[in-house]
Amino acid sequence: MKVCCGRILAMNSSDCRIFAANSHPALAQEISKTLKMPLGKVDLRRFSCGEIFVNFEDSVRGKHVFLIGTTGRGSVNEDFMEIFLMADAARRSFAKKVHVVLPHFGYARQDKIHNARESISAKLMANLLVKAGCDHLITLHLHSDQIQAFFDVPVDNLHAKKILVQKVKDERIQDPIVVSPDAGGAKFAKKFADLLGVDLAILHKTRPAHNKAEISQLIGNVAGKSCILVDDMVDTAGSVCAARETLVRSGSNEQVFLVATHPIFSGQAIERLSAANFAKIFVTNSMPLPQDCTKDLPIEQISIAPLVSSVIESIMSKKSVSKLFF
């Protein structure tokens, strides 16, 4: 994806500041390099009691401020709090607009009430971000599209399926079929299958307990096919590993590929994925991978930095970004 860095430098670099949160500095550095714009200086520290201190060392008065972070495994609460405080500091320092870049939006799975007396945490996080000073959210593949309506500010919900599809095409998989591990992901899997020009199968998943998944039914014929499991995220990996077992029992090839936007990989995910013996796993860098993950898994991480950089360039050049949503 081509990014018109020159136009930003010539027209709008003086109106823009990019700052990195502690949650994903590697992505921020890559975006900074792509745009040829240095990262702004910010002092992010912890008091001994654990409270977070934020101070921008570069002036943000009258600037478009882009705060680049994510919400990661085991630290989602702290990651959100850091972004809240950075947005608040930018707002109080007279930033023109505060654009929050959160490729992985934590708490998104709790977007409606499933059982009595539950919270809707996705809505709460949206309220807190806006209250802190966020004027615009840039995120990647929300767990459900309706979360955009939880915000009272614009949301750019980007998708990485085109770059993921290209990686799958490069594998030249024989007799491929795209499989959604549950009915909720069927819409995304259908678009993925259409881009590949292959058929779609859907698994029906139930959850007998928290973070446990059971596959009860397969819709579609996977016999003799090389299955490509497609999902928005892999958390504990229970769902996708159970899905792989079901597909192989149903007559698919032993070679099963896994494609996911967000590699959360919490709990026993690495051990489960390693034991499942996927042919290859494709994910984005919406969040950092666990340390030494690549030693245990046949995994390839695809960068979203060009995609996010294109959005930033379009915003500063007052161009449409709608082509990047779908």
> Does an H or E element contain 120, and which?
none
* Nearest partner of 193 among 154, 157, 220, judged by Cα: 220
Q: Who contacts 115 (Cβ-Cβ below 8 Å, separation ≥6)?
A: none
3-state secondary structure 246-266: HHHHCCCCCCCEEEEEEECCC
Residue 222's φ and ψ, nearest 5 degrees, are: -110, 5
Residue 139's φ and ψ, nearest 5 degrees, are: -135, 180
Dihedral angle sign, alpha carbons of residues 70, 148, 301, 244: positive
What's the rounded Cα separation, in Å, for the pair 150 and 267? 29
Q: Are 23 and 39 in contact (CB under 8 A)?
A: no
Q: Who contacts 314 (Cβ-Cβ below 8 Å, separation ≥6)?
A: 320, 321
* Nearest partner of 99 among 108, 112, 90, judged by Cα: 90
**Which residues pair with residue 136 across a beta bridge?**
99
Known catalytic membership, residue 205: yes
Query: Which two tokens mark 227?
Result: 């299955």
Choose, from 97, 191, 205, 280, the residue flagged as catalytic.
205
What are the residue numbers of the active site? 205
